[in-house]
Structure 1
Amino acid sequence: MTLLKRRAMLGALATGLSTPLWLQSAWAQSATSLKISHQFPGGTISEGDFRDRLSRMFAAEVEKRSKGTLKFEVYPGSSLMKTNAQFSSMRKGALDLSLVPLSYAGGEVPEVNIGLMPGLVTSYEQGYSWKNAEVGKELNRILLDKGIVVVSWIWQAGGVASRGKPIVEPEDAKGLKIRGGSREMDLILKAAGAAVVSLPSNEIYAAMQTGAMDAALTSSTSLISFRLEEVSKALTSGRGAAYWFMFEPLMMSKAVFDRLSKEQQAAIMAVGGELETFARKSAQTDDSLVAAVYQKAGAKVVDLSPATVKKWQAIARATAWKDYGERNENCAKLLMLAQKTL
């Protein structure tokens, strides 16, 4: 690249002007190393938490399809940045990609809490149908407007790990300190008489170990990966039925995505879509595996009945759904569209 072109590139980037096509091509060829951040335990491409594995599989396959023009570094365990800073950093273009529960960004973008709305998604089939349904298209539009590209749609069911009795019926939560994971989950717990604790999943172990928290709702994979069976005496599993599913996509900064070539963008989106089958199968496997892990550790394992799910769903409609729908027009529209998939 000539000195004149290099200066032009730096000038365009510094002033935020529209970048000419030849500069976009130069960027795509020179800025080939992208960072993927997540909060989950690290492993290998073949072993460990499936969310870490998916990140590594994605990195390897995109590098292959882009003929080495794109390379990736995976940073597990919040080793690159704090968990709750990831979404905002992607929006600003300071982080390239992250696999993170979308609801963690609810304080910044209220609409994203649709991704952890109790009682709204009650099966994997329903959750994954969102991608091509009206609700998914609207959510995707909102995220693009906020500077985020959804690369892989990932849904997970979950359960409740408890230091004492199993948390099954709504009345079981009364008087306990429980982690819900989103504003809406906290609302149904409060309605059931619990005191809520807000923290990311990678901080649950310490809180339960010290007694700062009595129970925690999180995905089956996190219940295993963060070894919560070591600090739990009971587990309510999500293997047969669940009143909450969490949307935890692999996302990319739109600012970074837009700087890549069309071929690189196509490779990223194609691989992201293909890995959704792996994600769904892995999440469902963990829904069953978690029960065996906790039983082996001596914990009491309880499953939810359809009748119990409906009890929690009724509370959710009166509290979480109502609160969310009243936050703004986008939220109201998303909730309406999501209910069409029930």
Structure 2
Amino acid sequence: MVKKWWLGTTTAVLLAGLTLTGCGLGNGNVQKQGGAASPAGTGQPETKKASLTFRLADTHPPDYPTVLGDKKFAELVNQKSNGRIKIDVFPSSQLGEEKAVVEQVQLGAIEFTRVSTGVVADFSKPMGVFSLPYIFENEEHEWKFLTSAEGTKLLDGLTASKFVGLAYFDSGARNFYSRKPMKGPEDIKGQKIRVIQNKINIDLIGALGGSATPMPYGDVFSSLQTGVIDAAENNWPSYDTSNHYTVAKNYILDGHQRVPEVLMMSKAAFDKLSDDDKKIIKEAAQEAIPYQREEWKKFEKKSEEKVRAAGVTITEVKDVKPWQEAVKPVIDKYRAEYKDVLDAIDKYRK
């Protein structure tokens, strides 16, 4: 009896030891055993961080500059993690339209998205400042602010809405395009115009005498084609790649907004990462910015050339003052709400 008791106890102890060996203590990542040699003196197999796979949603086509920026970010993350972290990029609204995707990122169902700050404004009010018309003089002025301490603070503030702001991407200037000819702000009056789904854009169209029609980006082409809307507004690449120029053949270069894009991650997903992996994600996002901006410039030029060659009526705006005067009530309405940010933006004017 004694001998049997001793054998049973020994077996139990060995099994307990094997169980404990399999439960490595992690540092925030799921751990898995590797085949590496045991650390000196421990007698235990060395554990390795588990491979991670995430999804990144984008509304634009695969060769669009923001998607190219997404892919560069994913490539850098993969390199910096020695292939351990993989980010699959889903362009062309494969995971849903922008607002629906942002909701999923907020919940943690999708880990990353690249989205217009105009859309994010519905989830994080401070981002609405970028939808205000004519707050930036040009690209140089915009990027002086975006790369400043104040611009970074605005990006960091997304955590309050359960996002982690990683980087700003370029999106150029936005201009109106219509089925009808346009020569000035007076031609906006009475037109049904698609806008990004936020209050400031609705107020902007109202100030110009138009009828704002919020709708998902993917619905704009058919709505223009069928006359559900008369006009929309966007930058050169979007006007081109969406084929909107084939159904709204009048483009006026009023440059009423410079609305940057934002690359962001679900805070729920980010908080589960180790400190090392958080650093990799943030560094890779920042390092992807110069590449994305360069790709934007090249694509913008190509889009303009394509649209002009297609015979679209392009109207240059030599004096933006009438436009600025027409939308001044929008600035006045929101000035108190965005005073600190607007003051910071003014600081970076020439």
TM-score (norm 1): 0.83
Contact 1:90 1:96 in 2 (8 A): yes
Contact 1:179 1:216 in 2 (8 A): yes
Q: 1:283 to 1:116 in 2, by over 3 A?
A: farther
Q: Report whether the alignment pairs 1:36 with 2:36.
A: no
Which of 275, 282, 288 matches 2:288? 275
Output the CA distance in 1 between the equivalents of 2:118 and 2:19.
45
Structure 1 residues 211-230: aligned runs within 5 Å: 211-230=227-246
Q: Secondary structure at the match of 1:118?
A: coil
Which of 132, 147, 152 matches 1:117? 132
Q: Report whether the alignment pairs 1:163 with 2:179.
A: yes
Per the TM alignment, residue 248 of structure 1 is displaced from its structure 2 partner at its CA by 0.8
Which of 305, 311, 322 matches 1:311? 322
Output the CA distance in 2 between the equivalents of 1:142 and 1:104.
16
Q: Report whether the alignment pairs 1:91 with 2:106.
A: yes
Q: Secondary structure at the match of 2:259?
A: strand
Compare 28-37 and 113-122 and name the one that shifted more: 28-37
Q: Secondary structure at the match of 2:315?
A: strand
Output the CA distance in 2 between the equivalents of 1:53 and 1:142.
26
Output the CA distance in 1 between the equivalents of 2:22 and 2:133.
52
Q: 1:159 to 1:280 in 2, by over 3 A?
A: same
Q: Report whether the alignment pairs 1:68 with 2:75.
A: no
Per the TM alignment, residue 6 of structure 1 is displaced from its structure 2 partner at its CA by 9.3
Q: What residue in structure 2 maps to residue 145 of structure 1?
A: 160
Structure 1 residues 197-208: aligned runs within 5 Å: 197-208=213-224
Q: 1:5 to 1:202 in 2, by over 3 A?
A: farther
Per the TM alignment, residue 180 of structure 1 is displaced from its structure 2 partner at its CA by 3.2
Provide Cα deviations, 1:157-194, integer angstroms capped at 9, x if missing partner: 2222211213x421110111112324223322212211
The one-letter code matched in structure 1 to 2:306 is V
Q: What residue in structure 2 maps to residue 136 of structure 1?
A: 151
Output the CA distance in 2 between the equivalents of 1:105 and 1:61.
25
Q: Report the structure, 1 or 2, having the larger helix content.
A: 1
Q: 1:223 to 1:100 in 2, by over 3 A?
A: same
Output the CA distance in 2 between the equivalents of 1:90 and 1:77.
17
Per the TM alignment, residue 31 of structure 1 is displaced from its structure 2 partner at its CA by 5.8
Q: Secondary structure at the match of 2:272?
A: coil
Per the TM alignment, residue 341 of structure 1 is displaced from its structure 2 partner at its CA by 2.7
RMSD after superposition = 2.6
Structure 1 residues 208-287: aligned runs within 5 Å: 208-237=224-253, 242-287=255-300
Q: Secondary structure at the match of 1:111?
A: helix
Contact 1:201 1:222 in 2 (8 A): no
Which of 324, 333, 344 matches 1:323? 333
Per the TM alignment, residue 134 of structure 1 is displaced from its structure 2 partner at its CA by 4.3
Q: What residue in structure 1 maps to residue 313 of structure 2?
A: 300
Contact 2:179 2:224 in 1 (8 A): yes
Per the TM alignment, residue 5 of structure 1 is displaced from its structure 2 partner at its CA by 9.8
Contact 2:251 2:315 in 1 (8 A): yes
Q: What residue in structure 2 maps to residue 336 of structure 1?
A: 343
Contact 1:201 1:218 in 2 (8 A): no
Q: Secondary structure at the match of 1:208?
A: helix
Q: Secondary structure at the match of 2:145?
A: helix
Q: How many residues align?
A: 314
Q: 1:30 to 1:231 in 2, by over 3 A?
A: same
Provide Cα deviations, 1:109-164, integer angstroms capped at 9, x if missing partner: 32221122211123211221223424313312321222222222113222222112
Contact 2:166 2:282 in 1 (8 A): yes
Compare 253-262 and 282-291 and name the one that shifted more: 282-291
Q: Report whether the alignment pairs 1:101 with 2:121.
A: no
Unaligned stretches of 5+ in structure 1?
Answer: 10-20
Contact 1:90 1:253 in 2 (8 A): yes
Output the CA distance in 1 between the equivalents of 2:153 and 2:340.
9
Select the structure of larger CA radius of gyration.
Answer: 2
Q: Report whether the alignment pairs 1:154 with 2:193.
A: no
Q: Secondary structure at the match of 2:256?
A: coil
Output the CA distance in 2 between the equivalents of 1:130 and 1:5.
52
Provide Cα deviations, 1:249-301, integer angstroms capped at 9, x if missing partner: 11111222232233322222222112212222233334433332222222111
Contact 1:154 1:250 in 2 (8 A): yes
The one-letter code matched in structure 2 to 1:33 is T
Contact 1:134 1:337 in 2 (8 A): no
Provide Cα deviations, 1:193-227, integer angstroms capped at 9, x if missing partner: 11111123232111101111111111222111111
Q: 1:61 to 1:189 in 2, by over 3 A?
A: same
Per the TM alignment, residue 67 of structure 1 is displaced from its structure 2 partner at its CA by 0.5
Contact 2:192 2:211 in 1 (8 A): yes
Output the CA distance in 1 between the equivalents of 2:20 and 2:112.
32
